[in-house]
């Protein structure tokens, strides 16, 4: 069952622009994932954050493992690239961590929800219980220096962009507006009104003149 579920999820995510995925050695349980930040307001915009994702044989009853392959300086990312994030923790409530069961992994979760949560975590760090204490302190006390390090991380991540891969941007993923049909221009430029109403204004005026002329002739004949 796990293979079928993962294959369906892989095919679905392969259509998305914000993530680039491939199988490691054609193994459906081992993915190479790259998160692509498309929010232009994000500090991580333009980055290509490559990671390894490993799934257990009993997926989706147990959570996958996720690890960034290139280090990221972030309060919730360990030096080895692993994350401290509730959604990847085993199901059930943990009194020690204070995490509720609803915050942790459940069989209803999917790869997409995990990746979206990770993207959200990048810009919305949880500094109360950091995996990287130094990064948490810097974010709170020296945010400008922290932002500078993030920008360096973003530039470094671009080295992992595959040759020939066209990086999507915020602009390229925006839907183009559909041109609205201007019915006023249609009526101005067409002769449809002539066909509908039986001729042009000049034709109508000519008919009225002819009617007047005809009336005058009848009146003259009557007098005579």
Query: Which residues are catalytic, by number?
Result: 84
Instruction: Please answer whether residues 132 and 79 qualify as being in contact, where contact means their C-beta atoms are separated by less than 8 angstroms.
Output: yes
Q: Is the dihedral of CA 166, 167, 172, 174 positive or negative?
A: positive
Within a 13 Å sphere around the CA of 180, how many CA atoms are in the beta-carbon half? 3
The neighbouring-strand residues paired with 31 are 23, 53
Residues 179/185, Cβ–Cβ less than 8 Å: no
- Tokens 């459906």 correspond to 28
Strand order in the sheet with 48-54: 19-24, 27-36, 48-54, 65-68
Residues 86/109, Cβ–Cβ less than 8 Å: no
């Amino acid at each position: 069952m796990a293979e079928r579920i993962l294959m369906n999820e892989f095919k679905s995510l392969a259509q998305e622009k914000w993530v680039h995925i491939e199988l490691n050695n054609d193994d459906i349980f081992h993915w190479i994932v790259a998160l692509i930040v498309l929010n232009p307001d994000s500090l991580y915009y333009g980055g290509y954050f490559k990671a390894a994702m490993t799934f257990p044989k009993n997926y989706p009853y147990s959570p996958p493992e996720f690890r960034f392959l290139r280090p990221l300086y972030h309060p919730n990312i360990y030096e080895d690239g692993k994350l401290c994030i509730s959604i990847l923790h085993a199901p059930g409530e943990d009194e020690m961590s204070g995490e509720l069961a609803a915050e942790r992994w459940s069989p209803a979760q999917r790869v997409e929800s995990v990746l979206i949560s990770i993207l959200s975590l990048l810009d919305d760090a949880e500094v109360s219980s950091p995996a990287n204490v130094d990064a948490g302190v810097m974010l709170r006390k020296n945010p400008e220096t922290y932002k500078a390090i993030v920008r360096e991380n973003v530039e470094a991540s671009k080295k992992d962009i595959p040759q020939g891969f066209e990086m999507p941007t915020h602009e390229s993923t925006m839907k183009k507006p559909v041109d609205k049909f201007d019915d006023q221009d249609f009526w101005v430029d067409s002769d449809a009104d002539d066909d509908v109403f039986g001729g042009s204004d000049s034709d109508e005026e000519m008919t009225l003149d002819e009617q007047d002329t005809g009336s005058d002739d009848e009146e003259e004949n009557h007098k005579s």
